[in-house]
Amino acid sequence: MSSLQGKVAIVTGGARDIGRQVSLKLAAAGAKVCINYNSNKQLADETVQQIRQTGGTAFAVKADMTQSAEVKKLVDACISEYGNTIHVLVNVAGGLLARKVLADLDEEFWDAVMDVNLKSVYLATRAVVPYMIAGAAIVNFASQAARDGGGGGALAYATAKGGVLTLTRGLAKELGPKGIRVNCVSPGMISTAFHDTFTKPEIRTNVANATPLRREGQAAEVADLVLYLSSDAASFINGESVEINGGSYFA
Residue 201 has a pLDDT of 81
Residue 215 has a pLDDT of 86
63 within some domain:
yes
Pick the catalytic residue from 131, 157, 228, 249: 157
Say if residue 235's pLDDT is above 90.
yes
What is the residue range of 83's domain?
A: 8-244
85 within some domain:
yes
Q: What is the CA angle 206-210-212, rounded to 5?
A: 145
How many C-beta atoms lie closer than 10 Å to residue 100's C-beta?
Answer: 19
2 within some domain:
no
157 included as an active-site residue: yes
Domain count of the chain?
A: 1
**Percent of the chain beyond pLDDT 90?**
84
Q: Strands 241-244 and 217-218: what pairing?
A: unpaired
- Whether 219 and 160 have beta carbons less than 8 Å apart is answered as no
Q: How confident is the model at residue 4 (pLDDT cuts 50, 70, 90)?
A: very high
Residue 203 has a pLDDT of 79
CA distance 55 to 66: 32
Residue 189 has a pLDDT of 83
- Whether 80 and 61 have beta carbons less than 8 Å apart is answered as no
Give one word for 69, left, alpha or beta, with left for phi > 0 and alpha for psi -120 to 50.
Answer: alpha
For residue range 163-198, list pLDDT tens digits in order.
Answer: 999 999 999 999 999 999 999 999 998 887 766 676
236 within some domain:
yes
CA distance 96 to 113: 7
User: For 48, phi and psi rounded to 5 degrees?
Assistant: -60, -45
**Percent of the chain beyond pLDDT 70?**
97
For residue range 57-66, list pLDDT tens digits in order.
Answer: 999 999 999 9
pTM (2 d.p.): 0.94
249 within some domain:
no
CATH code for the domain in which residue 224 is found = 3.40.50.720
Say if residue 132's pLDDT is above 80.
yes
For residue range 78-117, list pLDDT tens digits in order.
Answer: 999 999 999 999 999 999 999 999 999 999 999 999 999 9
Stretch 122-137: mean pLDDT, rounded?
98
